[in-house]
Structure 1
Amino acid sequence: MNKKDNFIQDINNGYSSKGDSIILGGAILDGEAVAEAHLKIPLKTLNRHGLIAGATGTGKTKTIQVFSEQLSNAGIPVLMMDIKGDFSGIAKEGKEEGFITERHAKINVPYNVAAFPVELMSLSKQNGVRLRATVSEFGPVLFSRILDLNDTQAGVVAVIFKYCDDKQMPLLDLKDIKKVINYITEEGKDEISASYGKISTATTGTILRKIIELEQQGGDLFFGELSFETDDLMRIDENGKGYVNIIRLTDIQDKPKLFSTFMLSLLAEIYQKMPEKGDAEQPELVIFIDEAHLIFNEASKALLEQIETIVKLIRSKGVGVYFVTQNPMDVPSGVLAQLGLKIQHALRAFTANDRQAIKKTADNYPTSQYYKTDELLTSLGIGEALVTALNEKGVPTPLVATMMRAPQSRMDILTASEIDEINNKSKLVKKYSEEIDRESAFEILTKKIADANEAAAQQQEQAPAKTSKSEPSTTEVVTKSVLKVVTSATFIRGVFGVLTKIFKK
């Protein structure tokens, strides 16, 4: 056999699939598409996570769009974290242009336009499904890591959570935990000291400043009720297509702490709530994290360890996580080692550092007798990528240059009226639009302090003027007062400190 015949055989053998699969595109050899060689990715390996990388303008966004369309067609829900605002067009049919027809003829893949079921979501005040979580749902461990606290400070946070558990005071939003910190530092310091040990005001001051920093990045909008139920990400429409859930993050690019806070809380809760799936025929959910470097650049060592741990474990729950970034070196090596599918678009070599990064990137891919990987990385065209995946047995497939298929949906953003149309039809927008501010730690402690002050004032007024006995202090009165029981529910936290959602409206 000649070179081309060998190539076709190697690719078709390497990417063969007995079960259901998705086709990302056609193979390229010596700069030309090979119509007889297609990249079939088995659905059952898509929970092994992945990386989609490449310089700006090389086609990453369209690759994610294609990937998400194929997943939706297979009945697999998708969660996209859309920082640039590029993905919303997936809700509307595309338009077959001449270049699309030509591309699909080259790779011998049929093309038809299609729209996909979409939910638009937001962590801020943008229109869409509001995503929230309570402080209690994070638990002390995850909350401390989000704030980048040291061991001593994290220990104080654990005491705060334990105190609120013991006194049945829900921690719902940031004003709740700020109120508790102020209370244990001032009016309730003797109460805390007697039951839980002394707490340094310097430590509580540092924690409070960290919380204020998070608050300024939008944490006050994220923490609260009604908290989002992860089951609402797993929906299938009446046509059997998985919903594409798009979190619109265009207004929080400068708020990486809020972004990483949400991502970790979501992954941790999904891990806790979803049952073990084992080797299922297809994933339950696939998550795309765009501009992943925003997470890793700002993350502390403890936070990186948390991310790596979750990525290792969550695949057993049938969830695939795909990191999208310009340079694969943006993703820590511990996370890269967990990835099964890698789609590498072109990289640009303008400096010596760029060339060194390209060499390192090439070393992370399998060797190939058909390509010089480091040279190919700089010569790939728009919509072309190097791909390696896992076959059904979990064995890495051959590295192959690929001409990606074109998206079936619109390759542009939605208009404001189209966004309103989607939101007006959404059941989830109605479900999560109402802000709930029920009685929690803030209200309970505010009332407790006010009652104690009033009781102290009354005792002082009633005391004989000649008595020399000292009046009870506010702290003593507070210590003896009885907390109103606001709930009989038991707080139960999972492996990552995520609270089971037991407080309902």
Structure 2
Amino acid sequence: MLQDGKLYIGTSRNPDDTLNKGEYLDLKFGNRHGLITGATGTGKTVTLQVLAESFSNAGVPVFCADIKGDLSGIAAIGEAKDWVSKRAEQIGFSDFTFQEFPVIFWDLYGEKGHRVRATIAEMGPLLLARLMDASEAQEGVLNIAFKIADKGGLPLLDLKDLQSLLNYMAENASELSGQFGLISKSSVGSLQRGLLVLEQQGAEHFFGEPALKISDIMRVTNDGRGAVSVLSAEKLMMNPRLYGTFLLWLLSELFEELPEVGDPDKPKLVFFFDEAHLLFNDAPKVLIERVEQVVRLIRSKGVGVYFVTQNPLDVPETVLAQLGNRVQHALRAYTPREQKAVKTAADTFRQNPAFNTAEVITTLGTGEALVSTLQEKGAPSIVERTLIRPPSGRAGPLTDAERKSVMNVSPVAGQYDTDLDRESAFEILTARAQKAAEAEAAKRAAEEQAAQPDSAAGRWTLPGFGDAPKEASTTGSRGSAPRRTNGYQRETVIEAAMKSAARSVATSVGRAIVRGILGSLKR
């Protein structure tokens, strides 16, 4: 049932439950994106694993998020569970074999996979504003911060770099506003508080170096299989905004770094975005437009994006229109919104005259789905009710020991596990502030010195006058003071002679002055 150039998804069946035909996804249309939807417990994760395994065997690297830990089993050889054997027999899958797949585990926190990091500069102001839930004014200040960093040669790598830059902007708001635009101190303060919240949520583990290299998630093994990069998201899901922003950043990096390849025979990478609604919930219009742009244009880079979510209404219509390959698991229709979701899902398919699509969606069993993929000339196939094939890898999580063993032999082992803290905005601004403080202290000391009266050492004084230093007598015994007579210190012969001479000079000078004055009066 396996065919070259096509991925086997499962076998469709007729309304009378007889087998119909195999359902395939053509590799050359694998970069035309896709959608996997369905209520909780209907088999979305197994479908994701089946597609990831198939792409890997076809030599296509895969990146996917593991929300509950179940997807980690793709790294281990499958087990002959009852439902697995029964499904393979039920669909007549005679070529079915168990196997393990080349997996690289990643984790933003470095606990269940290799560390994943990005720099603040790579994230950019738009995604940072989304991550911090910033207002329009605050986003404007973030844009100014990035301009200042670019112009001033200040690398923004981690949270402390951005915090230091915001401090600098607050201290020099008046001067910088005239050059870059209004910098409100209140907006800066709000951003600084937002950074503290991010730090408390663990975002400091994500921002920094060494940053993730795109080439490391696009590896192909020596035997020609694509590596499956599995992001551990069990803890990350506690911060859904960080989860959604990280995956969108990764998509943006792929879009910016990869070259144009047109329509290749198979994708260069397939990207599965599980819990996709977290990306679009409360997202501003500009962000949704960014997602739409990336999804529309990244196809020409050879990247296929597959959104996985419970409800097709979770994905905006502008994005939904770009998704050509569809796998729809069962939906419930108890509430008006659920009924609308069923109708929306049914309307997106090319209808099959053999059954009512909207009715079938609500009656699908676990592991069963409505499937429609792009066929020749890129036209969607008629929707078929399909039994999804069982996975070849383990359908369940790895143990901690098994995960550790996989990480130890990983091709990126040791490359991302140690933090790198090179000189960046924080160190540069700290050095400048210290240098400025030292210069200010030196200037202040000089001003204080200039304001003080001249010291005695810098003036000429007559002996015995003013603040000339008093020297201890050397005529008396060592350590004793000069002798006193009747309470007064006795003058030495030299001191008496000097005072007498001084009096004589003063008297002569005084007489000369008097004669000059009287003489002038007489004239």
Instruction: Provide the TM-score with structure 1 as the length reference.
Output: 0.85
Q: Which residue of 2 aligns with 1:8?
A: none
CA contact under 8 A between 2:130 and 2:283: conserved in structure 1? no
Q: Which residue of 1 aligns with 2:423?
A: 439
CA contact under 8 A between 1:130 and 1:429: conserved in structure 2? no
Q: Secondary structure at the match of 1:393?
A: helix
1:183 aligns with 2:187: no
List per-residue Cα deviations over 1:349-370 (Å, max 9, x = no partner): 3334433332232222222101
In 1, Cα distance between equivalents of 2:144 and 2:281: 30
Q: Secondary structure at the match of 1:38?
A: strand
1:207 aligns with 2:198: no
Q: Which residue of 2 aligns with 1:172?
A: 157
Q: Which residue of 1 aligns with 2:239?
A: 255
CA contact under 8 A between 1:214 and 1:257: conserved in structure 2? no
Q: Which residue of 2 aligns with 1:413?
A: 397
1:134 aligns with 2:135: no
Q: Which residue of 1 aligns with 2:207?
A: 223
List per-residue Cα deviations over 1:302-338 (Å, max 9, x = no partner): 2222111111111110101111111111111111111
The answer to which of 75-84 and 199-208 deviates more is 199-208
1:356 aligns with 2:355: no
Correspondent of 2:14 among 24, 29, 42: 29
Correspondent of 1:111 among 76, 96, 109: 96
Give the residue type in structure 2 aligned to 1:203.
S
Q: Which residue of 2 aligns with 1:93?
A: 77
Q: Which residue of 1 aligns with 2:109?
A: 124
Q: Which residue of 1 aligns with 2:279?
A: 295
Give the residue type in structure 2 aligned to 1:362.
A
In 1, Cα distance between equivalents of 2:117 and 2:331: 37
Q: Secondary structure at the match of 1:321?
A: strand
How big is the shift at 1:148?
4.4
Give the residue type in structure 1 aligned to 2:230.
I
In 2, Cα distance between equivalents of 1:179 and 1:388: 52
How big is the shift at 1:159?
2.1
Q: Which residue of 2 aligns with 1:44?
A: 28
In 1, Cα distance between equivalents of 2:336 and 2:131: 36
CA contact under 8 A between 2:110 and 2:417: conserved in structure 1? no
How big is the shift at 1:224?
0.5
List per-residue Cα deviations over 1:95-147 (Å, max 9, x = no partner): 22444333223322221111100011001232311111111122334434444
List per-residue Cα deviations over 1:174-193 (Å, max 9, x = no partner): 1111111111111x335524
In 1, Cα distance between equivalents of 2:358 and 2:42: 16
Give the residue type in structure 1 aligned to 2:325.
L
Give the residue type in structure 2 aligned to 1:113.
F
In 1, Cα distance between equivalents of 2:83 and 2:69: 24
Q: Which residue of 2 aligns with 1:143?
A: 128
% identical aligned pairs? 43
Q: Secondary structure at the match of 1:279?
A: coil
CA contact under 8 A between 2:107 and 2:114: conserved in structure 1? yes
Larger Rg belongs to: 2
Rate the CA distance shift 1:37–1:198 in 2: closer, same or farther, 3 A: closer
List per-residue Cα deviations over 1:229-273 (Å, max 9, x = no partner): 001111111221111100001002121221122112111111111
Rate the CA distance shift 1:33–1:419 in 2: closer, same or farther, 3 A: farther
1:340-351 superposed matches below 5 A: 340-351=324-335
How big is the shift at 1:43?
0.1
How big is the shift at 1:21?
0.6
Correspondent of 1:403 among 363, 382, 387: 387
Instruction: Provide the TM-score with structure 2 as the length reference.
Output: 0.82
CA contact under 8 A between 1:26 and 1:33: conserved in structure 2? no
- Structure 1 portions without partners, runs of 5+: 1-11, 469-505
Tell me the C-alpha RMSD between the 2 structures. Answer: 2.1
Give the residue type in structure 1 aligned to 2:37.
A
1:188-199 superposed matches below 5 A: 188-189=172-173, 191-193=175-177, 195-199=179-183
Give the residue type in structure 2 aligned to 1:130.
R
Correspondent of 1:62 among 43, 46, 68: 46
Q: Which residue of 1 aligns with 2:223?
A: 239
CA contact under 8 A between 1:52 and 1:344: conserved in structure 2? yes
Give the residue type in structure 2 aligned to 1:462.
A
How big is the shift at 1:64?
0.8
In 1, Cα distance between equivalents of 2:331 and 2:424: 51
CA contact under 8 A between 2:38 and 2:329: conserved in structure 1? yes
Q: Which residue of 1 aligns with 2:357?
A: 373
Give the residue type in structure 1 aligned to 2:387.
M
Correspondent of 1:315 among 299, 309, 323: 299
1:159 aligns with 2:144: yes
Correspondent of 1:275 among 234, 252, 259: 259
In 1, Cα distance between equivalents of 2:445 and 2:72: 66
Rate the CA distance shift 1:439–1:31 in 2: closer, same or farther, 3 A: farther
